[in-house]
Structure 1
Amino acid sequence: MFDINGGELIIIVVLAVLLIGPERLPGYAAQLASLVKRGKRLLQDTKARVDTELGPEFKDVDWSKLDPRQYDPRRIVREALMDDDEPAPAGPTAAAAGSAAGGATAAASTRTSDAPRAAVPAPFDDEAT
């Protein structure tokens, strides 16, 4: 948490002994210990109160999913665009799905490059507007 190694801790203890003095150091250590104990007790009480007020339905919530560090916009878009009911078509099934979906798209994909483009009308959905 504080990223203090052994050498740094020894320097801090030596400085504390020199600055505070050996006669007052046990009193300050006791105050620090009681402060840490009160902080730990406060944290435990707060967790218990939050659990009590939220109720049992929030006990099995995975809070790590709400961590902003887990945010990946590509994954979110991919999951939003994928249908849960039918898997994404791949390989030869994609052509079959395209021909089953609409004749205009199948005709457009099988059309040669020298054919006039005006022969196939543009797709239009009158219910979309």
Structure 2
Amino acid sequence: MFGINGSEFIILALLAVLILGPDKLPGYAQQLAQLVKNVRRMANGAKEQLREEVGDEITEIEWRKLDPRQYDPRRIIKEALLDDFEDAARAAKESPSVPTARKSIPSSTPAVTPTLPAAAQRLEAGERAPFDLDAT
């Protein structure tokens, strides 16, 4: 309970008997029992009050997931990186403009040249790139 084994508890009890004496020990034992009862009653009252205020949602919370001892920064970073990679891979598979693999195209299929939007067209030789002072 407090990191005390059986023999240490017996030694502490004997010291209490010797220090307090047999006439005062029953009174202190009764006060200790009352203290323990009051602490238990307060803890149960706090549980009930929390349950009333929060409702049944508190029983659905996964407390193990919120335990700070479960925090492993390496695992969290790895999961975040894998999620980003999986999202990018899923987007690449769904996007028709990104080729996923080279396939032999029959000669009867017309060649399609991708066109860039007007803002993304190549510059002519010697032409300066547009520069926006407000954007920098």
User: CA 1:6 to 1:58, structure 2 compared with 1: closer, same or farther past 3 Å?
Assistant: closer
Q: In structure 2, how many angstroms separate the alpha carbons of the residues matched to 1:25 and 1:49?
A: 36
1:14 aligns with 2:17: no
User: CA 1:68 to 1:101, structure 2 compared with 1: closer, same or farther past 3 Å?
Assistant: farther
Q: In structure 1, how many angstroms separate the alpha carbons of the residues matched to 2:45 and 2:71?
A: 31
* Local SS of the residue matching 2:64: helix
Aligned to 1:62: 62
Name the structure where helix makes up a greater proportion of residues.
1
User: CA 1:101 to 1:76, structure 2 compared with 1: closer, same or farther past 3 Å?
Assistant: farther
Cα RMSD (Å): 2.8
Aligned to 2:43: 43
Q: In structure 1, how many angstroms separate the alpha carbons of the residues matched to 2:74 and 2:101?
A: 27
Task: Give the drift of 1:56.
Answer: 1.7
Task: Give the drift of 1:82.
Answer: 2.8
Structure 1 residues 63-104: Cα deviation after superposition (integer angstroms, max 9, x where no partner): 1211111001122122223349x69x9xxxxxxxx96179xx
Q: In structure 2, how many angstroms separate the alpha carbons of the residues matched to 1:80 and 1:52?
A: 37
Task: Give the drift of 1:37.
Answer: 0.8
1:100 aligns with 2:91: no
User: CA 1:74 to 1:25, structure 2 compared with 1: closer, same or farther past 3 Å?
Assistant: same
Q: In structure 2, how many angstroms separate the alpha carbons of the residues matched to 1:21 and 1:58?
A: 48
* Local SS of the residue matching 2:47: helix
Structure 1 residues 35-82: Cα deviation after superposition (integer angstroms, max 9, x where no partner): 001101111111111111112223210112111110011221222233
* Local SS of the residue matching 1:44: helix
Q: Number of residue pairs matched?
A: 93
Q: Which has the higher contact order (CA 8 A, sep 6+)?
A: 1
Structure 1 residues 2-56: Cα deviation after superposition (integer angstroms, max 9, x where no partner): 1111111111111111111101101110100110011011111111111111122
Q: In structure 2, how many angstroms separate the alpha carbons of the residues matched to 1:51 and 1:64?
A: 19
Aligned to 1:118: none
Identity %: 54
* Bigger shift: residues 36-45 or 71-80: 71-80
Aligned to 1:52: 52
TM-score normalised over the length of structure 1: 0.62
